[in-house]
């Protein structure tokens, strides 16, 4: 991985030449991580910068959050969204949701009961019901219990069947067994928002789930928040503050 802030000339010369479609994760990328997902908010400076960028380039937020949730947290005109790891899309205001089979819906209903029970039994575990998918957050449970929480959750999910596990940083995401992830969402968003032009796809994310998008956009500009030798991203910024600096450079450094 290369330090994005040491390669700004190479990154922004591509964008100046061809324009871009900017896609970003929400938690840990646009907003600081919080103890409870419901408390996550963009900082004022991030929001202002994103508003300006969205007036110049197509922008999409691609997240594991429910579509209604992320749209409420990013109330900026003109931005498109992919929620629930690509199961819900809002592209230029037009909404599409992947229709789940009865088998998938029954599996989600069954595991929902199990995960609620698990969250009640372990201190510091937060269960997030996003209707089309579920998440079990255990970042704030005692570290000595992490392995037991994860093992119990994964065992229940596998025994239920018909579901897919996407693990993130201290979170277990539970999705129906259909092939939709941040990678497929990023490709769909790029195809829709580029409008046939050879714009550069840019994706910024911080979590394990964002690796699907990094891999899907190998010819684009992919940036991870935090350096990781195992990441498929081409570049990294050292912290979430680096995302704000990237947005401001995109505003000030790509004017023709």
Q: What is the mean pLDDT of residues 132-136?
A: 94
On the question of pLDDT at 97 being above 60, the answer is yes
Q: Tell me: pLDDT of 256 over 50.
A: no
Beta bridge partners of 222: 203
Whether 25 sits among the annotated catalytic residues: the reply is: yes
Q: Which of 114-123, 149-158, 166-175, 213-222 has the lowest mean pLDDT?
A: 166-175
Among the listed residues 25, 207, 210, 212, the single catalytic one is 25
Tell me the average pLDDT across 156-171.
91
- Is the pLDDT assigned to residue 140 strictly greater than 60? yes
Residue 129, pLDDT above cutoff 80 = yes
Helix (H), strand (E), coil (C) string for the chain: CEEHHHCHHHHHHHHHHHCEEEEECCECCCECCCCCHHHCCCCHHHHHHHHHHHHHCCEEEECCCCHHHHHHHCCCCCCEEEEHHHCEEEECCEEEECCCCHHHHHHHHHHHHHHHHHHHHCCCCEEEECCCCEEEECCCCCHHHHHHHHHHHHHHHHHHCCEEEEEECCEEEEEECCCCCHHHHHHHHHHHHCCCCCCEEEEEECCHHHHHHHHHCCCCEEEEECCCCCCCCCEEECCCHHHHHHHHHHHHCCCC
Over the chain, what is the mean pLDDT? 94
Instruction: Check residue 177 and give its pLDDT.
Output: 86
- The proportion of the chain whose per-residue pLDDT surpasses 90, expressed as a percent, equals 87
Q: Are 202 and 15 in contact (CB under 8 A)?
A: yes
Report pLDDT digits (tens) over 177-231: 887 899 999 999 999 999 989 999 999 999 999 999 999 999 999 999 999 999 9
- Integer Cα distance of 249 and 87 in angstroms: 32
Task: Return the minimum-mean-pLDDT range out of 5-14, 98-107, 113-122, 243-252.
Answer: 98-107
Mean pLDDT, residues 221-248 taken together? 97
Residue 243 has pLDDT above 80, yes or no: yes
The answer on pLDDT for 131 being more than 80 is yes
What integer pLDDT is reported at residue 37 of this predicted model?
Answer: 85
The CATH number of 2-98+180-252 is 3.40.50.1000
Strand partners, 22: 59, 202
The tokens 């195992």 sit on which residue? 230
Percentage of residues in the chain having pLDDT higher than 70: 99
- Mean pLDDT within 112-140: 95
pLDDT tens per residue, range 35-84 = 788 899 999 999 999 999 999 999 999 999 999 999 999 999 999 999 99
pLDDT for 93 equals: 87
User: d(Cα 61, Cα 204) in Å, to the nearest integer?
Assistant: 10
Residue ranges of the domains in the chain? 2-98+180-252, 102-176
CATH of domain 102-176: 3.30.70.1020
Q: Say what the pLDDT of residue 254 is.
A: 60
């Amino acid at each position: 991985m290369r330090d994005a802030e040491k390669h700004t000339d190479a990154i922004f010369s591509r964008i100046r030449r061809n324009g871009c479609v900017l896609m970003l994760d929400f938690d840990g990328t646009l907003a600081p991580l919080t103890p409870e997902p419901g408390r996550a908010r963009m900082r004022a400076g991030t929001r202002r910068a994103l508003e300006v960028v969205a007036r110049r380039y197509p922008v999409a937020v691609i997240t594991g959050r429910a579509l209604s949730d992320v749209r409420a947290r990013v109330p900026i005109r003109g931005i498109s969204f992919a929620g629930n790891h690509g199961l819900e899309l809002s592209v230029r205001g037009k909404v599409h949701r992947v229709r789940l089979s009865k088998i998938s819906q029954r599996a989600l209903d069954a595991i929902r009961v199990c995960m609620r029970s698990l969250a009640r039994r372990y201190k510091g575990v937060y269960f997030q019901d996003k209707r089309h998918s579920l998440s079990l957050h255990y970042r704030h449970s005692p570290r000595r219990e992490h392995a037991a929480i994860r093992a119990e959750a994964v065992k229940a999910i596998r025994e239920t069947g018909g579901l897919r596990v996407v693990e993130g940083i201290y979170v277990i995401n539970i999705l129906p067994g259909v092939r939709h992830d941040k990678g497929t969402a990023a490709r769909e968003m790029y195809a829709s928002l580029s409008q046939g032009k050879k714009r550069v796809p840019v994706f910024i994310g911080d979590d394990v789930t964002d690796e699907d998008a990094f891999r899907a956009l190998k010819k684009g500009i992919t940036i991870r928040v935090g350096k990781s030798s195992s990441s498929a991203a081409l570049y990294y910024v050292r912290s979430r503050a680096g995302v704000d600096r990237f947005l401001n450079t995109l505003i000030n450094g790509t004017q023709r």
